[in-house]
Chains A and B, each alone.
Chain A
Amino acid sequence: MELIIQVLVSGLLIGGVYALISVGLNLIFGVVRIINFAHGEVLMLAMYAAFWLNKLFGMDPYVSALLVLPALFLFGVLLQRVIVQPIQEASANMQIFATVALSLILQNLALIFWKGDFRTVQTSYAMSTLEVMNIIISVPRLIAFLVALASILLLYGFLKHTFLGKALRAIVEDNTVARLMGIKVDRLYLLAFGLGAAFTALGGILLIPFSSVYPMVGGPFTLIAFIVVVLGGLGSMSGTFLGGLFIGVVESFGGTYVSPALKEAIYFGIFILVLLVRPQGLFGKGKGTEEIGLK
């Protein structure tokens, strides 16, 4: 029984980070309607940035967020402007090619500049744990969960209550009508991509105290984020959050009771199942989801 709770708790904790990364993808996917296969690479870049700031300047990974998040926000804006915008009107296959190419470029640039080694940040708190009723909780993982939760709530508030947020939601629901209502859709695309990248980067910062970074680290996260977004539904923050927790828990149980090596097989199974049973996601609200293949 205790083992089950232990596994559940660690699944929920990592699930929070998955949720955060997926919220980033949901913004990009929902608003810009681009299938960003390079999503995990944004995470990879953030992890490397935190690693190098720590290595070279002794900066604490959490403090480095102050530099890394704005930098990756700008990077996201740049990607939207330079890579995505020219192919915004092209077919889905062309967009896939472009973002797969982008992911290939970023992975291999990382390999060239930083080699294929697994790198970890050494901190005083990496190994510290809390014990609550015989359940052992890793402190950096707990921090990761709490910060992820807080930032998702913050984003939720922003989308719900500010004018910009409402405009973004309008684009998710129907971007033609949004444009007709005078919303500057192209400019908000930049914002959405930047914000999405920044949230994903925050996920990377939260991961780095307890996981290593290497050039190909992003791949599985791209897959996870897509599954979570599909699970939660396009444009739904609460759905994404629950989806993230769910994937975290499934992965944790699968890793403990089945085999850690078959993690991806489990994701794949869930992915197919969700797409078959409820393709619009558990909480989906995006109109015209057919157009992006969710049918």
Chain B
Amino acid sequence: MSAKRLQLLGGVLFAAIIAIPVFVESRFILHMVTLIFFYIAMTSAWNIPVFGGKMSLGHAAFFGLGGYTGAILYVKFGVSPWIGAAAGVAVSLLGGVVMTLPLLRLRGPFFTLASIAFAEVLRMIAIDWRSLTNGSVGLNIPFKPGWANLTFQSGKPFYFLSLILAVAVVFVAYRLRHSALGFHLRASASNDEAAQALGVDTRRAHFIALLWSSGLTGLIGVFYVFFIYVVEPSTMFSLTLFSLQPALNGIIGGIGTIWGPVIGAIVMTPFGEYLRFYLGTIQQGLNYVVYGVVLILTVNFIPGGIVSLVRPNRSNRSDGSGSSSDTQEAR
């Protein structure tokens, strides 16, 4: 497909996305597409450190930190969510520093393991610190519609807000990937020693990537809380919802690429919601079994994700030589 036709297709697609809320009144569809936008943003933010081979399964930590900050400031202190969003980013950045600094010396699996533990610790604190977080019950966002309160009668404002978030995060990811930082990260992913030998400060690169990732995830968390009106530990710090889900979207679409997370979120969000509503009501837990099976099949048969099917000549080879050769593909 030529560049011109691709641009045309993109334009048509974008017009359709803008037009959906104008013509479609179904709350269900609006909600679903909004959710897809949120997951595109989340997965793309999660994916930034993956350029450098650092795979976190604890991003719920940043999501929860952002969401809790926004909600606590609004509910307890009456601070506008817009200021709360800035505070949420600051707090999740702080979380990013706390998690990342000690872990910069690690790579691969131990980073992943520690990231899971980090999110779990935050969940425990959120349950334990009742005076601030209201424990396991959590906080409800009072329904006072208006832009100042980031609360709306209709589903349309959040449709556009989440769309803006998704576009912004994908844009940031794109810019980062094609910046010097992006090249440093990819060099580190394919061979860290070689990159260092060439004078690349790979630790610094990983650190910056993780800060971008945690800050953006925190920002998404704030908006998400106002989207669902409630913040509570088992949802916000949920391993399956906000740590595994972005990772799953990522691998289905193609980790370490720009479009992989987008495609993964578009494919997996409706699939996940379908499973949750239909299988989940028949039999609690069945949806996650299906998820697990999909994940194992993906790892075995299309480790490069959907993106690698679209451009098979650039797909990765899992030759096992590097710790994360799978992040090096489809550039």
Interface residues, chain A, with chain B CB atoms under 8 Å away: 35, 37, 83, 86-87, 89-98, 100-102, 104-105, 107-109, 111-112, 116, 215, 223, 226, 230, 259, 261-265, 267-268, 271-272, 275-276, 279, 291-295
| B292 touching A262, Cβ below 8 Å | no
Residue in contact with B117 in the complex, picked from A86, A223, A293, CB distance below 8 Å: A223
Q: What is the bound-complex CA distance between A97 and B109, given in angstroms?
A: 10
| A87 touching B299, Cβ below 8 Å | yes
Q: What is the bound-complex CA distance between A268 and B284, given in angstroms?
A: 31
Secondary structure of the B contact surface, majority rule: helix
Point out the residues of chain B lying under 8 angstroms from A111, CB to CB.
284-285
Q: What is the bound-complex CA distance between A108 and B292, given in angstroms?
A: 10
| B324 touching A97, Cβ below 8 Å | no
Closest to A291 in B: B323
| A295 touching B124, Cβ below 8 Å | no
**In angstroms, how far is the closest chain B Cβ from the Cβ of A13?**
24
**In angstroms, how far is the closest chain A Cβ from the Cβ of B325?**
5
Q: What is the bound-complex CA distance between A94 and B127, given in angstroms?
A: 32
Point out the residues of chain A lying under 8 angstroms from B299, CB to CB.
87, 90, 94, 97-98, 101
Known contacts A101-B291, A293-B109; 12 additional CB pairs below 8 A are: A97-B299, A105-B296, A108-B288, A112-B283, A230-B110, A261-B124, A264-B121, A268-B118, A271-B113, A292-B108, A293-B106, A293-B323
B residues 67-109 near A (Cβ < 8 Å) are 102-103, 105-109
| B318 touching A94, Cβ below 8 Å | yes
The answer to whether B53 has its CB under 8 Å from any CB of chain A is: yes
Q: A96-B109, A265-B125 are in contact. Are A105 and B288 (CB under 8 A)?
A: yes
B residues 310-331 near A (Cβ < 8 Å) are 318-320, 322-327
Q: What is the bound-complex CA distance between A110 and B296, given in angstroms?
A: 18
Point out the residues of chain A lying under 8 angstroms from B57, CB to CB.
96, 100
Interface residues, chain B, with chain A CB atoms under 8 Å away: 53, 55, 57, 102-103, 105-114, 116-118, 120-121, 124-125, 127-128, 240, 244, 247, 251, 255, 283-286, 288-289, 291-293, 295-296, 298-300, 303, 318-320, 322-327
Point out the residues of chain A lying under 8 angstroms from B53, CB to CB.
93
| B108 touching A264, Cβ below 8 Å | no
| A112 touching B289, Cβ below 8 Å | yes
Point out the residues of chain B lying under 8 angstroms from A226, CB to CB.
113
| B128 touching A259, Cβ below 8 Å | yes
Residue in contact with A93 in the complex, picked from B118, B240, B292, B327, CB distance below 8 Å: B327
Q: What is the bound-complex CA distance between A95 and B251, given in angstroms?
A: 12
Point out the residues of chain B lying under 8 angstroms from A104, CB to CB.
240, 244, 288-289, 291-292, 295
| B103 touching A272, Cβ below 8 Å | yes
**In angstroms, how far is the closest chain A Cβ from the Cβ of B171?**
25
| A91 touching B325, Cβ below 8 Å | yes
**In angstroms, how far is the closest chain A Cβ from the Cβ of B255?**
7
| A294 touching B255, Cβ below 8 Å | no
Point out the residues of chain A lying under 8 angstroms from B319, CB to CB.
89
Point out the residues of chain A lying under 8 angstroms from B105, CB to CB.
275-276, 279, 295
Q: A104-B291, A265-B121, A293-B111 are in contact. Are A112 and B106 (CB under 8 A)?
A: no
Closest to B303 in A: A94
